[in-house]
């Protein structure tokens, strides 16, 4: 019985060739032509004015939040149901994540919950938007496009605009998805990740996209240790060593060239799951919202029967070498972020219990897919 993993890299001949070029020429570090090539091609692909390659998606978030002006004691509003990295990035700056609930169908930050938080839980103190429970300054919103699906952005942009808050998007899981026809990454500031399980990978890596060249230049400066004089090594600020290496960028260029191939495979995999489980009344695949064209990074199955335990399903699939993964412990429950303010996050808690991500690698064969579907069907029947 072959092992079917959740989401693994798809590496081809072009990746080998470009990485070999770096090794043979000695251009292996963060200076090299592939870094700027990857940035330019990535910016073009997502419709951004500038893109800055970083050592990880977390590093991208850290720098984007620093540039947005997060300071110690500030609050940034996040959805509770997400991977922990964006909340950690807020904490690296001494800030606090504030968790709000998600929308049940899309699994994304619920704009109506943001509206209610701003209206009921925030007050202006000397003109400064303040969480009246914690007395902390509320400075921004960090929507996270989880699992390949875009967040309903327009109401979030308008609420943030009215309240004077910045918006930094965590698009690490949703490269190539579109919102109302607009590419994720083509508006405002967005952060991407290229770790091993993402749609395209550089082993580890990230990108920040901007619509303003000056901001991109500043991010490039901050991620390159804020070096003001490269000969005398004069630094006027505390920067970061957060640049992507040329070897990683070479892989990124090759992977980006295959993005359409990966995207169409992800969509086909999703369609197979939808059709495969259509007759089952006990579960359903999470699909696209009316505003979305999803990249279906991971395929999420929701167990609609309250008597079905996703832990049991996970175990039964594991027993036959099929890897699945639940969503994340909702962050308002995370010991790592104790002390953060949170709203009622019931939907996150329910979906955390009901959802399981199914194998979604672009290299998944049709026979692997059929096996997953038939095992799932067998379990439910």
Query: Contact positions toward ligand PLP, by CB under 6 A?
Result: 56-58, 82-83, 85-86, 144, 146, 170, 172-173, 193, 195, 206
For residues 115-146, one letter each, b for 16 or more C-beta atoms within 10 angstroms of the residue's C-beta and e for the rest, the string is: bebbeebbeeeeeebbbeebebbbbbbbbbbb
For residues 149-161, one letter each, b for 16 or more C-beta atoms within 10 angstroms of the residue's C-beta and e for the rest, the string is: bbbbbeebeebbe
Nearer to ligand PLP, 122 or 249 (CB): 249
Minimum CB distance to ligand PLP, residue 211 (Å):
21
CA angle (128 as vertex; 125, 132 as ends), nearest 5: 55
Distance between CA atoms of residues 19 and 3, nearest Å? 28
Minimum CB distance to ligand PLP, residue 83 (Å):
4
Strands (DSSP E) contained in 199-336 are 206-210, 227-229, 234-235, 283-285, 292-293, 299-303, 325-326
| DSSP, residue by residue, 104-144 | TTT-SB-HHHHHHIIIIIEEEETTEEEETTT-PBEEEE--B
Minimum CB distance to ligand PLP, residue 45 (Å):
18
Instruction: Specify the length of the chain in residues.
Output: 381
Minimum CB distance to ligand PLP, residue 102 (Å):
13
* Sheet hosting strand 178-179, strand order edge to edge: 182-183, 178-179, 292-293
Nearer to ligand PLP, 83 or 166 (CB): 83
**What are the residues facing 170 on neighbouring strands?**
144, 191
Minimum CB distance to ligand PLP, residue 89 (Å):
8
In contact, 205 and 244? CB cutoff 8 Å: yes
Minimum CB distance to ligand PLP, residue 263 (Å):
18
Nearer to ligand PLP, 108 or 131 (CB): 108
Nearer to ligand PLP, 83 or 99 (CB): 83
Nearer to ligand PLP, 18 or 331 (CB): 331
Torsion of CA 188, 262, 201, 70, to 10 degrees: 20
Task: Please give the DSSP secondary-structure letter assigned to residue 2.
Answer: -
Nearer to ligand PLP, 84 or 259 (CB): 84
Minimum CB distance to ligand PLP, residue 326 (Å):
14
Nearer to ligand PLP, 116 or 329 (CB): 329
Minimum CB distance to ligand PLP, residue 84 (Å):
8
Nearer to ligand PLP, 207 or 263 (CB): 207
**DSSP helix/strand/coil, 57:** helix
């Amino acid at each position: 019985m072959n092992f079917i993993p959740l989401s693994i890299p798809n590496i081809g001949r072009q990746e080998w060739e470009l990485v070999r070029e770096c090794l043979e020429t000695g251009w292996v570090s963060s200076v090299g032509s592939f870094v700027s090539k990857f940035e330019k091609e990535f910016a073009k692909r997502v419709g951004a004015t500038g893109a800055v390659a970083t050592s990880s998606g977390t590093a991208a978030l850290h720098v984007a939040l620093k540039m947005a002006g997060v300071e110690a004691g500030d609050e940034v509003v996040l959805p509770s149901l997400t991977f922990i990295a964006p909340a950690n990035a807020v904490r690296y700056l001494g800030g606090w994540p504030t968790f709000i609930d998600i929308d049940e169908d899309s699994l994304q930050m619920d704009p109506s919950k943001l509206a209610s938080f701003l209206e009921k839980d925030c007050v202006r103190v000397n003109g400064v938007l303040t969480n009246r429970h914690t007395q902390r300054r509320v400075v921004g919103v960090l929507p996270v496009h989880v699992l390949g699906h875009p967040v309903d952005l327009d109401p979030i942009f308008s609420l943030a605009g009215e309240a004077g808050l910045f918006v930094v998007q965590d698009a690490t899981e949703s490269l190539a998805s579109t919102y109302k026809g607009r590419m994720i990454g083509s508006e405002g500031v967005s952060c991407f990740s290229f770790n091993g399980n993402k749609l395209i990978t550089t082993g580890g890596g990230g990108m920040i996209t901007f619509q303003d060249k000056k901001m991109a230049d500043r991010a490039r400066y901050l991620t390159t240790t804020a070096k003001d004089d490269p000969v005398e090594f004069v630094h006027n600020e505390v920067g970061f060593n957060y640049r992507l290496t040329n070897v990683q960028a070479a892989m990124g260029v090759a992977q980006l060239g295959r993005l359409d191939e990966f995207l169409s495979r992800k969509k086909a995999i999703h369609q197979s799951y939808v059709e495969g489980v259509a007759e089952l009344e006990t579960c359903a695949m999470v699909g696209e919202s009316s505003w979305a064209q999803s990249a279906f990074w991971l395929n999420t199955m929701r167990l609609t029967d309250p008597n079905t335990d996703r832990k049991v399903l996970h175990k039964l699939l594991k027993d036959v070498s099929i890897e699945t993964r639940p969503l994340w412990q909702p962050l308002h429950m995370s010991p790592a972020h104790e002390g953060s303010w949170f709203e009622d996050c019931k939907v996150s808690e329910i979906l955390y219990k009901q959802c399981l991500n199914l194998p979604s690698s672009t290299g998944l064969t049709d026979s692997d897919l059929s096996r997953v579907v038939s095992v799932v069907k067998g379990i439910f029947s």
